[in-house]
Chains A and B, each alone.
Chain A
């Protein structure tokens, strides 16, 4: 019961945050809506018994990505672009509505395999052994680390003053 109430509150908050990103006039307010959306998604991860992912969501999205976005907004505030829509506003609305209808229909019409098992908490140890354990995917973890390193070096090289 408590989980249902939490889901509805968090779902409405996440959707309101996403709507704020596309409707707010000021880019900074849109970024605040984005942070609200990220926080609500972290809460949704907790209701899905994914405690580690909820914490990671708060750390990386709310902590790092939101700060990066706000930093970029402050760097570029002289552009005075605002949060305006281009000439593709109506086609974009059409495409988004069409996608929502198609995806919603496909999701409701498909019979998903269901399991009545409860989610196991805490998930941190289980995820760790899945990543680093005997039959783990250590190579993928190393490649992800390499990707992050390449992204950091690339970001420095691109954004550096010549």
Chain B
């Protein structure tokens, strides 16, 4: 049985739901950011798998992944800077206690 597109898609869905669970359930802001990175990686796997198995000649999925990685790098640098600024101010990175913007 050769490994096809569906295997990669299921793996991507499993990684994405793991990241989704962590991003929703965790209290530590850095762990939430890490879980968001896992979700981005899962989407990248799906894109590259589509590019490999559906349109191997055009490689459009791989192009998208390059831009996705750029945006992820920008996001993580700003996100960690915000977390460090919050830590300076509150001496805490527990998101259940950082409730200034909570409704």
Residue ranges of A at the interface with B (Cβ–Cβ < 8 Å): 3-4, 7-8, 11, 14-15, 18-19, 21-22, 27, 30-31, 34, 37-38, 41, 44-45, 48-50, 52-53, 56-57, 60-61, 64-65, 68-69, 71-73, 75-76, 78-79, 81-89, 91-93, 95-97, 99-100, 103-104, 107-108, 112-115, 117-120, 123, 126-127, 130-131, 137, 140, 144, 147-148, 150-152, 154-156, 158-159, 161
Does A27 contact B74, Cβ atoms closer than 8 Å?
no
Q: Chain A: which residue is nearest B58 at the CB level? A: A130
| Cα–Cα distance between A155 and B28 once the two chains are bound (Å) | 20
Q: Are A31 and B34 in contact (CB under 8 A)?
A: yes
Main secondary structure of the interface of A (DSSP, over half): helix
Known contacts A14-B15, A92-B21, A130-B63; is-contact A155 B37 (Cβ 8 Å)? no
The bracket for how many chain B residues form the interface is 35 or more
Instruction: Tell me if B's interface is mostly helix, strand, loop or mixed.
Output: helix
In the complex, what residues of A have CB within 8 A of residue B88's CB? 161
Pick the contact of A95: B20, B44, B52, B72 (CB < 8 A): B20
Given A81-B28, A81-B92, A140-B67: A34 and B37 interface contact (C-beta under 8 Å): yes
Task: Given contacts A45-B45, A81-B28, list 5 more A-B pairs with CB under 8 A.
Answer: A7-B7, A69-B30, A148-B70, A158-B81, A158-B85
